[in-house]
Amino acid sequence: MLLLIILTATMINSSGNQPNESLMFVCVCNKVTDGQIREACENGASSMECLKKQLKVATCCGRCQDCAKRVLRESQAELYRNPIPLAATA
């Protein structure tokens, strides 16, 4: 079963100001996108437990758990390569 729905939407995501950016729903049950997971990671979420508490991802059918973990790991790797300056977070 295809769990990932990729939407190309004319939207502005919370971190980018980039119109026409595609969004991917990771958790269909709770309508959680990859962008929301990346933003949570940028704000300190460091585990699936954090994501479950903050976004409710993977708290219904659970089929999205592997994908959510992958997005979390990718986000953490990206933050490691390109850390957010402290002044940008204040």
Return residues touching ligand FES (CB under 6 A).
Answer: 27-30, 57-64
Q: Which one, 69 or 79, has the nearer CB to ligand FES? A: 69
CB of 90 to ligand FES, least distance (A): 33
Spatial CA neighbour of 52 closest among 33, 71, 39, 65:
65
CB of 5 to ligand FES, least distance (A): 10
User: Is the Cα torsion angle 40, 48, 56, 13 positive or negative in sign?
Assistant: positive
CA dist 89 and 69 (Å) reads 24
Burial of 7: CB neighbours in 10 Å, binned 0-12, 13-18, 19+? exposed
Q: Which one, 2 or 88, has the nearer CB to ligand FES? A: 2
CB of 39 to ligand FES, least distance (A): 17
Q: Which one, 59 or 76, has the nearer CB to ligand FES? A: 59
